[in-house]
Amino acid sequence: MARRFKGLKLTPPRVFAAGFALIIAIGTLLLSLPAAAESGQHTPFIDALFTATSATCVTGLVIVDTGTYFTTFGQLVILGLIQLGGLGFMTTVTWFAVALRKRISLRDRIMLKESLNLSGIEGVVRLILRVLLYSALIESVAALYFMYRWSYEMPLPQAAYYGVFHAISIFNNAGFELLGGYRNLTPYVNDWGINVVSMLLILLGSIGFIVLAELVDYRRTRRLSLHSKVVLSATAALTLVGALLIFIFEFTNTRTLGPLDLDSKLLASLFQSISLRSAGVNTVDITQLRSATMFLMIIMMFIGAAPSSTGGGIKLTTFVILVGALLAMIRGKEDVVLFRHRIAKSDIYKATTFCFIGLFCVVASTMALSAVQQQDFLIILFEAVSAFGTVGLSGGLTTELGTGGKVIIILMMFIGRVGIVTLAYALQPNPKKEPFRYPEGKLTIG
């Protein structure tokens, strides 16, 4: 029986949402300190809150330049928020409990299941420990490469620091960087090493820890679950389609791909497409993209990454189920079938619900931003979807936001990271079972 605090049942969704809110609150306090800013002054509360939310929700939208505005202390606070936000509140708590040899209760296991979007609690603690091991290993290898690469451009201690920061940021799909001038990775658009390592980090972070664990075990088990098959196939399809369309749309754009040779054009197109899974890093100037490319990116960002990953959006599996339902209806089929498995009707209802709630959030936030910000509608829509999908790519609006606009984006980043349905469950009154059912009605559709 869950405990009650002033009549409020502490359900897993509420604990999950409260955990992220607590991390954001602590991060806001630390980033507000004079020691966190190069100026030695207190960072305005709304700016500290915005940065802490963006880091904890692994989004990457910034209103000040991380590399020049914050001190090393401030940057380390941001890095800590990214790591906590990427791994998740309950994952971190569980690691400390295991390290201190504390018993993981059934309630804790249920909360872990909810935080990772798992179907059951079997093996959840073992998965958490593997998540931490895989994350540390992947980030360490990437950090070593970045350190080696940047040691040619800067002193070794700085290269090591940059390597660790960017490895953690990119793997957790956060999008924060220290290169300065809001340039992101644009100076390295032709650098195959940085591009390939960054793309691998993004993909490994966006496919989700469940899939990652199954891929590691594949040589032994020779099997993948339906979830992993759907995530991997959808990731490959959307990445290739996105890269092809970006390549076509931007091929002659002199402000993005135009000046590059063919190999670099292909590399940049693939990088931008992979980044749309929720990474927030870019190697071309997003503000100079054509309208068709930006609209394509909006669609991809809305879809987002896989469940139990560091990404946001409505999730890949939701999108695949909706596409499957559409194709089944067009073909006159009763069931949605994926990889020779029938999808339960309840999952189709959930996918539809997730999509419509996501659309409502995006529409509402876009309307609100349009009311408080003077900017082209496409740029406003791009920023709203980027926040909802915790992507972090910006069309140039974020640095121009007023207080009202910052509050709207903060809410969207929080909703996108916690999850639209998790947040809905967290805010709803304690559910009560209805004592009766209404008679079924008939409506004419279409």
How confident is the model over 361-373, as pLDDT tens digits? 999 999 999 999 9
Confidence of residue 5 (pLDDT cuts 50, 70, 90): very low
What integer is the mean pLDDT of 64-89? 90
Task: Report the distance separating Cα 44 and Cα 27, nearest Å.
Answer: 13
Query: Is the predicted pLDDT of residue 315 greater than 50, yes or no?
Result: yes
Confidence of residue 1 (pLDDT cuts 50, 70, 90): very low
Task: Report the distance separating Cα 298 and Cα 8, nearest Å.
Answer: 38
User: How distant, in Å, are the alpha carbons of 78, 83, 89, 161 from that of 23?
Assistant: 11, 11, 8, 23
Confidence of residue 2 (pLDDT cuts 50, 70, 90): very low
pLDDT, mean over the chain = 86
| Cα–Cα–Cα angle for 385, 386, 387, rounded to 5 degrees | 90
Q: pLDDT tens digit string along 152-204?
A: 999 999 999 999 999 999 999 888 999 887 888 999 999 999 999 999 999 99
The residues pairing with 337 across neighbouring beta strands, listed in sequence order, are 342
- Tell me, what's the pLDDT at 112? 59
The pTM (predicted TM-score) of the whole model is 0.88
Q: pLDDT tens digit string along 209-258?
A: 888 888 988 888 888 989 999 999 999 999 999 999 999 999 999 999 99
90 phi-psi bin (left φ>0, alpha ψ -120 to 50, beta other): alpha
Greater confidence (438 vs 409) lies with 409
- Tell me, what's the pLDDT at 134? 86
64 phi-psi bin (left φ>0, alpha ψ -120 to 50, beta other): beta
Confidence of residue 12 (pLDDT cuts 50, 70, 90): low
Confidence of residue 438 (pLDDT cuts 50, 70, 90): confident
Q: pLDDT tens digit string along 284-305?
A: 999 999 999 999 999 999 998 8
Task: Report the distance separating Cα 38 and Cα 162, nearest Å.
Answer: 18
- Tell me, what's the pLDDT at 77? 96
Query: Is the predicted pLDDT of residue 4 greater than 50, yes or no?
Result: no
Task: Report the distance separating Cα 280 and Cα 179, nearest Å.
Answer: 14
Token code pair at residue 295: 């609209």
Query: Is the predicted pLDDT of residue 84 greater than 70, yes or no?
Result: yes
Query: Is the predicted pLDDT of residue 426 greater than 70, yes or no?
Result: no
How much of the chain exceeds pLDDT 70, in percent?
84
Token code pair at residue 382: 């791009």
Token code pair at residue 350: 């959930």
Task: Report the distance separating Cα 53 and Cα 63, nearest Å.
Answer: 12
- Tell me, what's the pLDDT at 114? 55
Query: Is the predicted pLDDT of residue 3 greater than 50, yes or no?
Result: no
Greater confidence (115 vs 396) lies with 396
Query: Is the predicted pLDDT of residue 80 greater than 90, yes or no?
Result: yes
Query: Is the predicted pLDDT of residue 111 greater than 60, yes or no?
Result: no
Token code pair at residue 269: 């197109």
- Tell me, what's the pLDDT at 252? 94
What integer is the mean pLDDT of 35-51? 95
- Tell me, what's the pLDDT at 306? 87
Sign, CA torsion 292/294/299/300: positive
Confidence of residue 98 (pLDDT cuts 50, 70, 90): low
Bridge-based pairing of strands 337-338 and 341-342 is antiparallel
Task: Report the distance separating Cα 77 and Cα 340, nearest Å.
Answer: 47
Q: pLDDT tens digit string along 133-152?
A: 888 899 999 999 999 999 99
Query: Is the predicted pLDDT of residue 106 greater than 80, yes or no?
Result: no
Q: Report the 3 state secondary structure along the chain.
A: CCCEECCEECCHHHHHHHHHHHHHHHHHHHHHCHHHECCCCCCCHHHHHHHHHHHHCCCCCCCCCHHHHECHHHHHHHHHHHHHHHHCHHHHHHHHHHHCCCCCCHHHHHHHHHHCCCCCCCCHHHHHHHHHHHHHHHHHHHHHHHHHHHCCCCCHHHHHHHHHHHHHHHHCCCCCCCCCCCCCCHHHCCCHHHHHHHHHHHHHHHCCHHHHHHHHHHHHHCCCCHHHHHHHHHHHHHHHHHHHHHHHHHCCCCCCCCCCCHHHHHHHHHHHHHHCCCCCCCCCCHHHCCHHHHHHHHHHHHHCCCCCCCCCCCCHHHHHHHHHHHHHHHCCCCCCEECCEECCHHHHHHHHHHHHHHHHHHHHHHHHHHHHCCCCHHHHHHHHHHHHCCCCCCCCCHHHCCHHHHHHHHHHHHHHHHCHHHHHHHHCCCCCCCCCCCCCCCCCCC
